[in-house]
Amino acid sequence: MPNPLTFRDFQALIRNRYYKTDAARGTPGTFMWFVEELGELATALQNNAPGKTPTPAERANLDEEFADVIAWLTTLANINGVDLEAALAKYTKQGGVEGVKD
């Protein structure tokens, strides 16, 4: 893989490895896996919350859960024909999304 890894490169990697299985599972089933990973990320965030002292395993799990959520989101994008790098341009192009939500 190229260094640095772009969203396009990562999306292609996920597509090449998993598309056949992911497409057969479809959007509803894949979305359920994504939601499960979001729940695991929520638990990992709670275990690593400010004021807590996470174990090395809990810290490593936090990194893993972030990666899993991104991978499953990328899978959803692939089976729904969404180019994530192009979609993310709304945040990187001049005059795109600015400011913060309250």
CA distance 10 to 97: 23
Please give the C-alpha separations between residue 69 and each of 42, 82, 95, in angstroms, as whole numbers: 11, 16, 28
28-82 maps to CATH 3.30.420.40 = no
How do residues 3-47 score in pLDDT, each as one tens digit? 888 999 999 999 999 999 999 999 999 999 999 999 999 999 999
Domain borders along the chain are 28-82
pTM: 0.86
| Count of CA atoms in the C-beta half-sphere (13 A) of 7 | 15
Q: What stretches of 1-102 show up as alpha helix (H) in DSSP?
A: 7-47, 56-79, 84-87, 89-92
pLDDT per residue as tens digits for the range 50-74: 999 999 999 999 999 999 999 999 9
pLDDT at position 49 is 96
